Structure 1
């Protein structure tokens, strides 16, 4: 387990990263990539959408262009404060503080669930994916954006010492174990590193 696959350490990390997050983020995850990933989802204007690990609200803003019923959840109050400053706490987004492995929502509460830049910090990704499946209605979609595994052996060892990095094969295993179907992957990245992120979308069985 990587050093940041620990909830206390991850919260401390984001306490400081939140100060510069919106300036650093575009170098690895920009609006073009976000919008391309959102395009992999079937979102209707009246769909109830949950953004897990909503952070400073970057993805949340993109989701609001497709649905009027978006909810955001994050464990870092420092990240959430940045989102509140942009969007408010309750309108147009309902924000909550919580844990990806224990979502504070009822079963079958959402039509779509999005999570970007969060899976790499989860101690148990399969447990979180099962929890996501619980709160998404049958036939609904779950989309996860995570860090693609580096190609070099040395890079992989360094990355794994910090947090979770994975490839399409590992994503297939995680989503399959969590009970999803119609699993699709797409690599994305900025021009200087076009495969830095792996985007996986899957459907909750009917």
Structure 2
């Protein structure tokens, strides 16, 4: 487990990163990449959408271009304060302080779930993905953005010591173990030489698909 896959360390990390996050983030995950990913989620007007690990609200702002029924959740109060400053504490987004591995929502609550730049900090990513599958309606999609595994052996060792990095094969394993179907991946990059992001879109099975 990487040092930042510990929840208390991650909160401390984001306490300081929140001060510069919106200036640093575009070098890794910019608006064009976000908008391309959002198009994969096929959000319709009026859909109820959850942003898991919403941080300062960068992904949330994109979701609001499609629907005004948006929920955001994050475990970092410092990141949430930045999101509140941009979007308001209660309107147009219903923000919640909480844990991705214990989502405070009922089963089948959302038409779509989005999560960008969060899974790499989850100590138990499969549990987090199971929670996402639990709250998304049967037959609907979830999209998760995480850091693609580096090609360099040296960078892989460094990456593994910090937080979760994974490739398409590992994403397949995690999403399948969490109960998703129709799993697809797209690797994105802000510019040549910058870190790559892996975007995974998967569907929660219909109840009949899960039957024996």
1:92 equivalent in structure 2? 92
Please give the secondary structure, in 2, of the residue aligned with 1:142: strand
Alpha-carbon separation, structure 1, partners of 2:183 and 2:194: 21
TM-score normalized with structure 2 length: 0.96
1:31-85 deviation digits (Å, cap 9, x = unpaired): 0000000011111111100000000000000000011101000000000000000
Please give the secondary structure, in 1, of the residue aligned with 2:40: coil
1:115 equivalent in structure 2? 115
Gaps of 5+ in 2: 207-212
1:170 equivalent in structure 2? 170
Shift of 1:191: 1.4
Shift of 1:152: 1.2
Alpha-carbon separation, structure 1, partners of 2:15 and 2:177: 33
1:9 equivalent in structure 2? 9
Shift of 1:23: 0.5
1:38 equivalent in structure 2? 38
Task: Confirm or deny: 8 A CA contact 2:27 2:194 kept in the other structure.
Answer: no
Task: Confirm or deny: 8 A CA contact 2:103 2:131 kept in the other structure.
Answer: yes
TM-score normalized with structure 1 length: 0.98
2:104 equivalent in structure 1? 104
Alpha-carbon separation, structure 1, partners of 2:30 and 2:24: 10
Shift of 1:95: 0.2
Alignment of 1:69-88 (within 5 A): 69-88=69-88
Alpha-carbon separation, structure 1, partners of 2:107 and 2:81: 27
1:161 equivalent in structure 2? 161
1:26 equivalent in structure 2? 26
Alpha-carbon separation, structure 1, partners of 2:181 and 2:64: 26
2:53 equivalent in structure 1? 53
Superposition misfits of 4+ residues, deviation over 6 angstroms = none
Task: Confirm or deny: 8 A CA contact 2:141 2:201 kept in the other structure.
Answer: yes
Query: Matched residue pairs, number?
Result: 206
Alpha-carbon separation, structure 1, partners of 2:36 and 2:175: 21
